[in-house]
Chain A
Amino acid sequence: MSSAPAVLERFFVYNPRFGPKEDNEEQKILYHYPRTASLDEQMSHVGLSEAMTRFTETFTSDYPCESLHTKHSRYTYLQPEEGYWMVMMMRNPRVSSTSGDGKLVVVSREDELSDPVLRGVIEELYGAFRLFNGDMERIVQTSSVETLRRRLDLFYSNMLRLYEARSFSLVDTFAGVRFFPVDRTTYLSIQSFCNLLLETFPWISNLTFMYETAVIYSALDQKTLRTLFQFLRRASNPKGSLCAVTSPILVDHGDDSQDTNALSPFASLHLQSEGSFFAYGPAAGSESTTLPSIHIEDKVYDLVIYEQDGVRVAFTVDPRHWDGESHADLQRVAAFAEPEVKALQRLLVHLRPKADSGAKDSGFKFFYFNQCNLALKDTLSDKGVPRSVMRDVESLYERIHSMKEDVRELTVHTASDPWVVARKVRYYEWWAAPTCDTAT
């Protein structure tokens, strides 16, 4: 008896507008993963999606097609921009065993994957592309369809590597932001540092201060913060630093001669300080650096992320500011920031939650989301909590959200498993799974 986990098998983007005639139909496919799929295979999947979305439209134009369940797979659909469709196909987890007469029996677990979770994942995939590349339609308008194709290819071929089905959970559905709780004094110190930074370097904007993958202060709008936070979470390795694989994602040199070997990820700019910038360029301390650009509203900015000892300060800069002087400017910022950040970091270290903190004592793990400020608190994903508990919470979520009823609370207690409680109060949602058999 062996089991195979769920796998992200296919992901593609298409827009029928670009291939309206029979003889150039394949033009509508803008991106397809895996690259190795034959054109026929790609077309048949796009064809199925088009048929499916048009079919549901026969009955309702208010609600777009969301998901298709089949015996072996799960398809998730998203139309993030008019005419542009994104489809993600997951293969269901399987269990194989040998039957009495020696035959191999493979059974697909059709109800294991959770639609709301997958929806969160596909929205995140689009959100990240949009953050670093802008709207797809905009790219087509200002440049060309070919550019869009290239950008999608560059972005997703690398981005998808960060998405392991194993890691999908309810956390993705909410796209929340983890906040790092600090006391008032520390917060004020951080605020004053941020203000000083802005005063000294007026060309900095949209400052965000983070510590250990959680946000403390941000001037970014909620939507952008959410997307950026999700991206950083996904792109960070377990130690919390941005991992190498993200580098090709973010920088498009605008031509086809993309020689990825020339890019060295995370090149530190040979600063005297202990911090480093998230930037690219030939490693050996050259003067020119390439920074990733992000799109906020309709404007394009350069994104700068400064990391030092677990503190991460992110800000945006209008690209017109640099004038070829980026390295020097950033050096100055680093020099200014280093001692301040060191001091702040010493304060923050003491505020970290202890390893075996109160959460364990209270006997339950929980998940809390506040729709107003997007705050997310999650101990359900901690190490040591079996995946099945999260799965229980997810099935409650699915049930609540599939009914038209306004369910305020749903509690399930099974003799052998822990209790699972879901509660929704206006804009707060709270999910808990006590790990011991405490009766209410």
Chain B
Amino acid sequence: VDEPGSSEPPALAAPISKFPEHFTRAAHKHQKYASEDTEDPKWKLHKKHIFILSSAGKPIYSRYGDEQSLAPFFGLLQALVSFVSDQKDSIRHVIAGPFKFVFVVRGPLYFVAVSQTDEPVAHLRLQLVYLHSQIVSILTHKVHSILAKQSSFDIRGLLGGTEATMGNLLHVMSTNASFFLECVRCVRLAPETRVEVGRALQTTRAPEAMFSILVSGFRLIHILRPRRQQLHTEDLLLVLNLVNSSSSFRTSDSFAPVCMPRFNDRGYVHVYVSFLADNVALILVTTKADAFHSLQQSREALVTDLTNRGLLHQITTAAAQPPVDMAEVERSTHANGVLRHFLYKAHGAGQFIAPAYGPPYVRRKEQKRLFQVYQNLYAMAYSPRYRSASVRPHQIVFHSTPSENIVVVTSPTFDLYAVFGPLTQRQHCIDVCNRILRWLKREEQSMLISSAPVW
């Protein structure tokens, strides 16, 4: 039975489900379980455990449970890793039925995930690698040499106060496609408006600002960068996570040191954060530690400029809506209700487009399930068999279950993952995919930033 286009999602789902990248309350969920240990039968039931430890077995982080009372368990993890490295080998992962135990070793830091979810191993690895980058973003690469000199050093002291950021990162990685797709989403703006915004950023730029980024949640409004420097997605996502994990950034302008691992993992840059409106933030990245006032002034100039031209209002309205909802897609593709959702990644722009979730993916559980199916299909399309190919292959995948049919099309320029009802015929699916692609070609100017302004 195909659902009609745009019925109002029930209150249960609330706005949170429309913006999968938003949520801060889950960041603190772990605190509820902070006292558990291995003896507690509830501890084992958590769907995904994350453990971080040093090569000496010293606990650094545990998503659930008290690190101190879990110390013997951390000792066991350390023993497993070293057992394997004694054989001149490196441990990767262990499978037991639906359970996946994934190990990532980065110098003296060990990261372990114990997962009962449907997330593929490749994605669990990615999450652990991000956690490592998160630690580096707080302490720089020096954390490696600290531990190398003294493996029993307790770095938890150095990481004090950052549990919320870690927790948030873990939560966001399970719901926001930016991480596994390795690119970001944009707020939808008419191309002319976006150009105007870019010009405003350029004219009001403080000389110390290296990157000027306008965002809403995890979505990009615009970005201004140096001619010779790109901002790596990983660095961007870590900064966005930082800004989104703490409410203190919203209340007043902040200026904080942060290490961007891909940009330079040995030192800090400074990040100026100021919310221009409830849902729009300005992030300025600078290498100068004393640039706060200068950056603040440029912020004032920018707000004035944007307000005068009516752009600020346009931005805040656009940011409050999803870039596209299924009703619009339905109108444009005449899919007769068979299309339920899709993900489109443009390789050239390094950005993706996805509509808000609509029926039947209204409950968070269903959204999560679909999300994990996307992850599995992505992992299949990018499995190591093809990684060595210099040109990404053209590939079409058809995946059919009693819940839905999914068509995946990959090519050197784009990836499309389209979800249909389970009774939709294969040929019909392909037809609709073609229609989606044609429609996107027409509309993508407003949904992607095709060229970022430079200075």
Q: Which residues of A contact B (CB under 8 A)?
A: 44, 47-48, 51-52, 55-56, 58-60, 62-73, 109-111, 115, 395, 399, 402-416, 440
Is A399 within 8 A of B376, CB to CB? yes
Is B95 within 8 A of A51, CB to CB? no
Q: How far is the CA of A330 from the CA of B83 in the complex (A)?
A: 56
Task: Give me the 8 closest cross-chain CB pairs, A-B, nearest first.
Answer: A63-B97, A409-B400, A415-B394, A56-B96, A411-B398, A71-B90, A69-B92, A70-B89
**Which chain B residues lie closer than 8 Å to A110 at the CB level?**
92, 384
**Closest CB of chain A to B44's CB: distance in Å?**
5
Q: Give the contacting residue for B114; candidates A48, A59, A63, A407; CB below 8 A.
A: A59
Is B80 within 8 A of A55, CB to CB? yes
Q: How far is the CA of A270 from the CA of B88 in the complex (A)?
A: 56
**Which chain B residues lie closer than 8 Å to A70 at the CB level?**
84, 87, 89-92
**Closest CB of chain A to B42's CB: distance in Å?**
13
Given A51-B76, A110-B384, A416-B393, A405 contacting B97 (CB threshold 8 A): no
**Which chain B residues lie closer than 8 Å to A402 at the CB level?**
120, 376
**Which chain B residues lie closer than 8 Å to A67 at the CB level?**
94-95
Q: How far is the CA of A69 from the CA of B384 in the complex (A)?
A: 15
Q: How far is the CA of A47 from the CA of B86 in the complex (A)?
A: 12
Is B376 within 8 A of A440, CB to CB? no
Is A52 within 8 A of B94, CB to CB? yes
Is B92 within 8 A of A71, CB to CB? yes
**Closest CB of chain B to A97's CB: distance in Å?**
12
Instruction: Determine if B98 is an interface residue (Cβ-Cβ < 8 Å).
Output: yes
**Which chain A residues lie closer than 8 Å to B114 at the CB level?**
59
**Which chain A residues lie closer than 8 Å to B403 at the CB level?**
405
Is A408 within 8 A of B97, CB to CB? no
Is A414 within 8 A of B395, CB to CB? yes
Given A56-B101, A59-B44, A410-B397, A73 contacting B118 (CB threshold 8 A): no
Interface centre among B394, B401, B403 (most CB of A within 10 A): B401
**Which chain B residues lie closer than 8 Å to A72 at the CB level?**
88-90
Is B384 within 8 A of A413, CB to CB? no
Is A47 within 8 A of B401, CB to CB? no
**Which chain A residues lie closer than 8 Å to B87 at the CB level?**
44, 48, 70
Q: What per-residue 1/0 map shows which CB atoms of B120-134 lie under 8 Å from chain A?
A: 100000000000000
**Closest CB of chain A to B433's CB: distance in Å?**
13
How many B residues touch A, CB cutoff 8 Å? 44
Q: Which residues of B contact A (CB under 8 A)?
A: 38, 44, 73, 76, 79-80, 83-84, 86-99, 101, 114, 118, 120, 373, 376, 380, 383-385, 393-403, 426
Q: How far is the CA of A59 from the CA of B97 in the complex (A)?
A: 11
**Closest CB of chain A to B399's CB: distance in Å?**
5
Q: Given contact pairs A63-B99, A65-B96, A68-B93, enumerate 14 new A-B contacts (beta carbons under 8 Å).
A: A44-B87, A55-B76, A56-B101, A58-B44, A60-B99, A70-B89, A71-B89, A395-B380, A404-B118, A405-B373, A407-B400, A412-B380, A414-B393, A414-B394
In the complex formed, the residue of A with least CB distance to B79 is A51
**Closest CB of chain A to B32's CB: distance in Å?**
20
Is B92 within 8 A of A48, CB to CB? no
Q: Give the contacting residue for A56; candidates B94, B376, B394, B395; CB below 8 A.
A: B94
A-B contact pairs, 14 of them (CB 8 A): A55-B101, A63-B96, A64-B96, A67-B95, A72-B88, A399-B380, A405-B403, A407-B399, A410-B398, A411-B396, A412-B380, A414-B395, A415-B395, A440-B426
**Closest CB of chain B to A221's CB: distance in Å?**
28
Is A403 within 8 A of B373, CB to CB? yes
Given A59-B114, A63-B99, A408 contacting B402 (CB threshold 8 A): yes
Interface centre among B95, B99, B395, B426 (most CB of A within 10 A): B95
**Which chain A residues lie closer than 8 Å to B38 at the CB level?**
58
**Closest CB of chain B to A429's CB: distance in Å?**
14
**Which chain B residues lie closer than 8 Å to A66 at the CB level?**
95-97
Q: How far is the CA of A67 from the CA of B398 in the complex (A)?
A: 29
Q: How far is the CA of A402 from the CA of B403 in the complex (A)?
A: 17
In the complex formed, the residue of A with least CB distance to B399 is A410
**Closest CB of chain A to B180's CB: distance in Å?**
15
**Which chain B residues lie closer than 8 Å to A407 at the CB level?**
399-401
In the complex formed, the residue of B with least CB distance to A415 is B394
Q: How far is the CA of A408 from the CA of B403 in the complex (A)?
A: 10
Is B86 within 8 A of A44, CB to CB? yes
Q: How far is the CA of A414 from the CA of B80 in the complex (A)?
A: 39
In the complex formed, the residue of B with least CB distance to A399 is B380
Q: How far is the CA of A67 from the CA of B397 in the complex (A)?
A: 28
**Which chain A residues lie closer than 8 Å to B84 at the CB level?**
48, 70
**Closest CB of chain B to A71's CB: distance in Å?**
4
**Which chain B residues lie closer than 8 Å to A56 at the CB level?**
94, 96, 99, 101
